[in-house]
Structure 1
Amino acid sequence: MSEALIEIENAATILKLLGDKTRLTMVKMLDSNDCCVCEFVEVFKASQPAISQHIRKLKDAGIVKETRRGQWIIYSLNKNSDYYPLVQNLLQHLPNQDYRIKELEAQGLRISCE
C-alpha cells in the first residue's frame, strides 16, 4: 500500500493538535485501547467538558472516530484517516501508556461497555 503524501499545511495542523500533551497522551492510549470520555476524565483528572473538547478536535481532524455501544460512545484511532500513517509513525517513538488503563482497572474505573 503506497502512502499518500499529506499537504504541509495539513501535516502542520495535525502536529499542532498532537503538540498538546493531553491530546498526544490520549492518542497514544487509543493506539492500544478504545476509551470513553469518562475514562479520560479519570486519567487526566480533568473536567468532562475539557476532555470532550480535546476529543472533538481530534475527531474533527479525523484522527479519532467514535462508535456507539449502547449508551456509551467509545473512541478509537481512525485507521482509515489519511493522517494515520503520520500519527502511527509519531506514536511508535512514545512510551506505552497502557499503565494508565491498568490503573483505571485497578480502581474499578475501567468502563465495560459490553
Structure 2
Amino acid sequence: MSQPIEALAETLKLLSDKTRLTILALLKVQDMCVCDIVTVLEMTQPNVSQHLRKLKICGLVNETRRAQWIYYSLNLEDKHYLHGILEQLPSMKEQLNKLSPECCN
C-alpha cells in the first residue's frame, strides 16, 4: 500500500471519533485553549488533552503558547481533502457563545 493512502486511512480513522470531529468543528470557528474545549464538551481535561494530542500527532491541529495558555488551531495546510469534511460539520458558534470570557485570559 502506498504511503499517502496509509496516511489518509489513519487520518480518516482518527476522524471516526465524534469527540475529535467536534473539536475540529470548534476549531473551525476559532482557536481555543483546552479549558474552553473542556467547558463546551463537558469532558475532563485529561480526556480532551488526549484527543488533542492525537489530532496534533496526525498534524490536524497546531499548538501556540500565549502567556501560560496553549491554544489550538486547525492545521489544514496541505490537507485540502479535509475541507469537504469540515464543510459537513455543524456550526459550533452557539456553543462558543456560551463560554465565559474568564477562562484563558
Count of equivalent residues: 103
List gaps (5 residues or longer) in structure 2. Answer: none
Equivalence for 2:95: 100
Q: Normalising by the residue count of structure 2, what TM-score does the alignment of the two structures yield?
A: 0.89
List gaps (5 residues or longer) in structure 1. Answer: 1-5
Q: Cα distance, 1:96 vs. partner?
A: 0.9
Q: Percent identity?
A: 46
Equivalence for 1:49: 46
Q: 1:9 to 1:112 in 2, by over 3 A?
A: same
Distance (whole Å) between structure 2 residues aligned to residue 26 and residue 67 of structure 1: 16
1:55 is paired with a residue whose SS is helix
Equivalence for 1:38: 35
* Larger displacement relative to structure 2 (92-101 or 47-56): 92-101
Q: Of residues 9, 17, 26 in structure 2, which corresponds to 1:20?
A: 17
Q: Which has the higher helix share?
A: 2
CA RMSD of aligned residues (A): 1.6
Distance (whole Å) between structure 2 residues aligned to residue 79 and residue 110 of structure 1: 29
Distance (whole Å) between structure 2 residues aligned to residue 60 and residue 95 of structure 1: 24
Moved runs in structure 1, 4+ residues, more than 6 A? none
Equivalence for 2:66: 69
Question: Does the 8 Å CA contact 1:67/1:73 hold for their aligned counterparts?
Answer: yes
